[in-house]
């Protein structure tokens, strides 16, 4: 394969090469792709061209942009769940609700219990619970706790 890219729509060629590297395992799930600057140097193109190529891969669900990390390769089975601990906790509780392990009206584990179980801070637990509340899966009764929302 030629190192130099030529012709029209160079960004699609860059996307093809990065997609191939992901498929071959050069960038496995959880790996951070090289920076935009590094890709610009490698492919001898402008930054906007690299950004367009990365946007194609993000649109396909192969990568996600994570603030302060960069572009991260995701697995096909559970994209972006493990990128942040709060998202992992919210996903775990959401799955328990979907399976019926936590039925409508059931009390969720306390913040303290979730902190111990997942070994995270109180703010991380609260962030996860707030996400579930915004999704309409749980309700909070001040002074009583959090419950799975009834149908």
Structural domains for the chain: 10-73 (1.10.10.10), 84-148 (1.10.10.10)
Query: 0.85 exceeded by the pTM?
Result: no
In Å, what is the CA distance from 38 to each residue of 8, 42, 55, 63, 127?
22, 6, 16, 17, 34
Residue 115, pLDDT score = 93
Residue 1, pLDDT score = 45
Q: Can you point out the beta strands (E) in 107-144?
A: 138-141
Task: Please identify which residue in the block is written with the tokens 């392990």.
Answer: 101
| CA quadruple 86, 87, 90, 95: dihedral, nearest 10 | -150
pLDDT tens digit at each of 151 positions of the chain: 445 555 568 999 999 999 999 999 899 887 889 999 999 999 999 999 999 999 999 888 888 887 778 898 887 655 444 567 787 788 889 889 988 999 999 999 999 999 998 888 999 999 999 989 998 999 999 888 999 998 6
Residue 45, pLDDT score = 93
Structure tokens that stand for 105 in this block:
């009206």
Residue 79, pLDDT score = 47
- In 3-state terms, the chain is what percent helix, strand and coil (to 5)? 50, 10, 40
Helix or strand or coil: residue 79? coil
- Return d(Cα 139, Cα 151) in angstroms, integer: 12
Residue 73, pLDDT score = 87
Residue 86, pLDDT score = 82
Residue 83, pLDDT score = 62
Task: Please identify which residue in the block is written with the tokens 């395992």.
Answer: 25
Residue 8, pLDDT score = 67
Residue 82, pLDDT score = 52
């Amino acid at each position: 394969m030629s190192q130099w890219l030529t012709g029209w729509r160079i960004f699609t060629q860059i996307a093809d090469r990065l997609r191939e590297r992901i498929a071959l395992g050069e960038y496995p799930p959880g790996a951070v792709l090289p920076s935009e600057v590094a890709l610009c140097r490698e492919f001898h193109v402008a930054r906007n061209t690299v950004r367009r190529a990365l946007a194609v891969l993000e649109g396909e669900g192969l990568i996600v942009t994570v603030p302060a990390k960069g572009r991260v390769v995701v697995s096909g089975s559970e994209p972006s769940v493990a990128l942040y601990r709060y998202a992992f906790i919210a996903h775990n509780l959401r799955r328990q609700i979907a399976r019926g392990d936590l039925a409508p009206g059931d009390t969720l584990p306390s913040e303290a219990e979730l902190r111990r179980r997942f070994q995270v801070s109180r703010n991380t637990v609260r962030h996860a619970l707030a996400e579930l509340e915004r999704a309409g899966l749980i309700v909070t009764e001040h002074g009583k706790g959090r419950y799975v929302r009834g149908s």
